[in-house]
Structure 1
Amino acid sequence: MNNIIETEGLSKQYGNVYRVKDVDLSVPEGAIYGFLGPNGAGKSTTLKMILGLTKPTAGAITVFGKRVNSKNRLENLKHVGSLIESPSYYGHLTGAENLRIFQTLRGVPKQNIADVLKIVRLENQQHKKVSQYSLGMKQRLGLASALLGYPKLLILDEPTNGLDPAGISEMRELIQSLPQKFGMTVVVSSHLLSEVDQLATRVGIIREGELVYQDSLTKLHQYSKQHLAVRTLNNEVTKAFLSQNGVTWEAEDDYLIIPQMRDTRMAEISKALGQNNIGLVRIEERKKSLEDIFLELTGTAVSL
């Protein structure tokens, strides 16, 4: 599968501080790529460099198989739609009038206006002034402007920011439909783990400007292997007993975390603990949640 976006050693430095450092992104064609990280991790800066809105300090960017430079940047952007931060609009104009301005500037067919309004479900509010739009309607209008040229690549920076649950669900459905309906590749940045989990096919996680994970969402879920949590009346003696019997363990609060095993094997260990006068108080089956994995990778609490 071809990659629509590839970056090599992409970096952005302000003074002595790196906002983005040595990021190697690979976004496959037809994917919904979830670009995930806490606020301030470098997501927006990375996307702005890909779009040519910010000049990299170092590194290379390849889009549609071509190395991006000052000469071909505008040509590349003809095939890219984007919604970075809050959407731009003229509040005193209607939704349709706003889109007419973008349509004229981009030189795309006028019919596209009616088409994208239907895609984002704003056809019944197109003649209403944008100043009277709800936040969700403004976000959908921003998405409509990004879709006007039916781009091959769509880049959306925090598209669900500020939306209520119904608005988030609606935006998610819209984004999910785009690759299959129009053959688009979509990059969605978010600090909302739960949102990316329901939306993306591939995910990149950035922490303090550095890419700490990049692969399929399925593989990320595989990190959440089941394990057992054991609590006894004498955990210190239990540690030695487990080690002597070839069972690995990690201490976590009042529990010892051991690998998942067959019931018969656990029964043997329980019996042996009793025979050694080690009182077994509790056995729990546990599994790392996706939130726990995110916390380990980013070192920060996850937004849900």
Structure 2
Amino acid sequence: MEHIIITNNLSKKYKDAYRVKDVDLKIPKNTVYGFLGPNGAGKSTTLKMILGLVKPTEGSITVFGKVANDKNRLEILRDVGSLIESPSYYGHLTAVENLKIVQTLRDVPEKNINKVLEIVRLDNQKNKKVNEYSLGMKQRLGLAAALLNFPKLLILDEPTNGLDPAGIQEMRELISSLPKKYDMTVVVSSHLLSEIDQMADTLGIINHGELIFQDNLKILHERSNHKLAIRTLDNAKSRIILNSYGMDCEVESEYLLLPQISDDFIIKCNKLFYENKIMILRMEERKKSLEDIFLELTGKAVSL
């Protein structure tokens, strides 16, 4: 698999404390990579190091197959777009006028302005002063500026911060569409697992400056451990019967937990209970939520 970004032992130390420690990122091409972690975990510092805004204390960063350094930084950044923290704009100017400044600085075709405004759905508001924009519209304008050079790599730091539910949904759909439509790799950071779950293909979780998980999002879902929870009028007898047929079960509160949820397995359980005259009060599927898994990995509550 080709990787757009590879970091090796990437670290950033402030005084005597590491904000980022030995982070090895591998970000696949043409995917949405979710960079997840609690507030203060080191997400923004890591992204700023990749963009050359913060100098690493240790480690290396490879982007587009080139080891980033002071000499080739500008060459690499020509194919990178970014929105870090809150977007910058001139409130007394229109969206078109703001993007014209960026277009001139980045030396990209002027026709790109209307293209990106259409992508972020601001084409009908392009001649309105930005001071009159809602927060969601300002976020979309920031995204339009990041897209202006149609980069190979787009880095977004908490792009849905402060948006209402409709704005979050709109931003999420837009980000998810970029790899396929524009041959683009998107790195998006968030402290909201539920948000990343609906956008990303691959996930990296950082906590206390250290990368504690990195893999396809499906792998994280597989940790959910689906189980069948059964409550009967006689759980003790039920457990003995299930065990005698090699169906190991755990006891949790008033329920018996079995490790399978297939239809055939459920039919088999029902048949055993019927034959042994055991009344079933409740039968349900149980699984760990992604939030539970995140909590296990980070040891702290996740924002939802």
SS at structure 2 position matched to 1:179: helix
Answer yes or no: is the 8 Å Cα contact 1:88–1:142 preserved in 2: yes
* Letter matched to residue 10 of structure 2: L
Partner of residue 218, structure 1: 218
Kept after mapping to 2: 8 A contact 1:179/1:185: yes
Per the alignment, residue 44 of structure 1 pairs with 44
2:302 counterpart SS class: coil
Secondary structure of 2:300's aligned partner: coil
What are the Cα deviations for residues 168-212 of structure 1, in whole angstroms up to 9, with x where unaligned? 111112112211121111011111112111111111111121111
The aligned amino acid for 1:33 is Y
CA distance in 1, matches of 2:239, 2:8: 46
1:37-76 aligned within 5 A: 37-76=37-76
2:98 paired residue number:
98
CA distance in 1, matches of 2:22, 2:233: 49
After TM superposition, the structure 1 = structure 2 runs for residues 101-116 of structure 1, keeping only pairs within 5 Å, are: 101-116=101-116
Unaligned residue ranges in structure 2 (runs of 5+): none
State the Cα distance separating 1:258 from its structure 2 match. 4.4
Unaligned regions of 5+ residues in structure 1, if any? none
Q: 1:43 touches 1:189 (CA, 8 Å); kept in 2?
A: yes
Instruction: Write the letter of the residue equivalent to 2:36.
Output: L
Distance in 2 between residues matched to 1:140 and 1:269, nearest whole Å = 58
Cα root mean square deviation, aligned: 2.8
CA shift, 1:285, in A, is 3.4
**Which range moved further: 46-55 or 261-270?**
261-270
Look up the equivalent residue of 2:149 and give its one-letter code.
Answer: G
Normalized against structure 1, the TM-score is what?
Answer: 0.87
Moved more, 35-44 or 154-163: 35-44
Q: Answer yes or no: is 1:302 the counterpart of 2:290.
A: no
2:18 is matched with which residue? 18
Matched, 1:141 2:152: no
CA contact (8 A) 1:274 1:280 kept: no
Give the superposition deviation at 1:225. Answer: 2.2
Query: 1:132-158, CA deviations, whole angstroms, 9 ceiling, x for partnerless residues?
Result: 110011000000100111110000011
Q: Which residue does 1:173 correspond to in 2?
A: 173
Amino acid of the structure 2 residue aligned with 1:197: D
Alpha-carbon spacing, 1:182–1:285, altered in 2? closer, same or farther (3 Å): closer
Structure 2: distance between partners of 1:157 and 1:100? 23
Judge conservation of contact 1:193–1:302 (CA < 8 Å) in 2: yes
Pairing 1:189-204 to 2, within 5 Å after superposition: 189-204=189-204
Distance in 2 separating the partners of 1:16 and 1:260: 49
Q: What TM-score results when the alignment is normalised by the length of structure 2? A: 0.87
Q: Secondary structure at the match of 1:199?
A: coil
Q: Counterpart amino acid of 2:47?
A: L
CA distance in 1, matches of 2:125, 2:287: 46
